[in-house]
Amino acid sequence: MSKPLIVVTGAGSGIGAATARLLSAQGHPLLLLGRRLEKLEELALPRALCRKVDVTDRDAFAAAVREAEERFGPVDAIVNNAGAMLLGRIADQGAEEWDRMIDLNVKGVLYGVRAVLPGMLARGTGTIINVGSVAGRKTFPNHTAYVATKFAVHAMSENLREEVAAAGVRVVTVAPGAVETELLSHTTDERIRQDYEAWKESAGGALDAHAVAEAIAYAYHQPQHVTVREIVLAATGQQA
């Protein structure tokens, strides 16, 4: 029997790309979303619809999901992975960086949920996987605005889980510690970037994105009556 459609946001790099590769190798058709279409297409995955979508554009997000469903059938899961970590001190960080993280990390997740949830509720099945963070459970230096968005992901996911549990829809939060990806490169404060790199090194290095993809796939592949509510994983050497 053919496997159902899964949506992966931010699939062009890091955790999203590793997840797309793994789920594709497991036989799933995919909808891959991100702003750099070439990064999605470079993955060259079979039965993968690649669309240049900014997930803060609610209508474009929903339209891409409809297009994928017309091609591959109903969405069985979404991995709301697209996100940005713009570290900074609140006294001097540009407020537009807070806006960007809140729009992407919080509203982008809500838009993803809205694009798939009505269909999942109607079918009485489906899985929503939101990528949170260890920084969605505890605080770190220079992370004030970022932790606000990741704590929000954890809170929204748990509340949503309660809302849809009786309808048979699963909500999973996957919360990684430091992972070696492009994420840090978007922080504009050079000194903060260097401190973060030194912190990662002192912990013996960060996780490989594939380890997070494996955790996502593990949660997804449980029988539908089993919800892995949260997975927190980090490099063994990461103390914080």
Binding site for ligand NDP (CB under 6 A): 9-10, 12-16, 33-36, 39, 54-56, 81-85, 104, 131, 133, 176, 178-179, 181-183
Query: Which of the 8 DSSP states describes residue 238?
Result: -
Nearest approach in angstroms of CB 85 to ligand NDP is 5
Nearest approach in angstroms of CB 74 to ligand NDP is 22
Residue 30 vs 122, nearer CB to ligand NDP: 30
Distances (CA, A) of 195 to 88, 135, 142, 202: 12, 16, 10, 10
Nearest approach in angstroms of CB 133 to ligand NDP is 4
The catalytic residue positions are 146
Nearest approach in angstroms of CB 118 to ligand NDP is 22
Residue 83 vs 88, nearer CB to ligand NDP: 83
The residues, any chain, with a CB within 8 Å of residue 7's CB and separated by 6 or more, are 30, 31, 33, 65, 68, 75, 77, 78, 79, 112, 115, 116
Nearest approach in angstroms of CB 153 to ligand NDP is 8
Gap between the Cα atoms of 129 and 8, Å rounded: 10
Gap between the Cα atoms of 81 and 113, Å rounded: 12
Residue 29 vs 34, nearer CB to ligand NDP: 34
State both tokens at 233. 């994983």
Contact between 146 and 87 (Cβ < 8 Å): yes
Residue 122 vs 240, nearer CB to ligand NDP: 240
Beta bridge pairs of residue 6: 30, 77
Q: If 0-12 CB within 10 Å is exposed, 13-18 middle and 19+ buried, where does residue 106 land?
A: buried
Residue 102 vs 121, nearer CB to ligand NDP: 102
Contact between 5 and 69 (Cβ < 8 Å): yes
Contact between 49 and 63 (Cβ < 8 Å): no
